[in-house]
Amino acid sequence: MASRAEDYAYRVLWSQEDGAYVATVAEFPSLSCVEESQADAFFGIVNVVTAVLEDMREAGEEIPVPYSNRHYSGKFALRIPPEKHRQLAIEAAEQHVSLNQLVVSRL
């Protein structure tokens, strides 16, 4: 399925430095749109992504898969210092839960 601009992960935040709202899109970290209102920033970045997608298709470039269309297993590996691992294992035992349950509750 072809990616649409609406499928991407957008964020609009107030920028004190810019004195305006800045909209970004996770899959295209180099793109942004600065506007006076949240709505204008959001719709502005969607329009920018629409144009970029069109250009990428015309150029035959690989288009990033939106996070909303990616498949996740629900698993990921995490490396932590051995002492932190020990502390978490003890805390999980004290709470009568698995280490996995403890860590998930913290996320």
Which tens digit of pLDDT belongs to each residue from 6-65? 999 999 999 999 999 999 999 999 999 999 999 999 999 999 999 999 999 999 999 999
The pTM for the full model equals 0.76
pLDDT exceeds 90 at position 103: yes
* Mean per-residue pLDDT, 71-100: 94
* pLDDT confidence bin for 72, thresholds 50/70/90: very high
**Quick one: pLDDT at residue 87?**
95
Rounded to whole angstroms, the Cα distance separating 92 from 100 reads 9
Q: How far is CA 40 from CA 5, 66, 106, in A?
A: 16, 22, 36
What token pair was written down for 63?
């288009």
Burial, 43: exposed, middle or buried (Cβ in 10 Å; 0-12, 13-18, 19+)?
Answer: middle
| Pick from 39, 36, 50, 56: nearest CA to 8 | 50
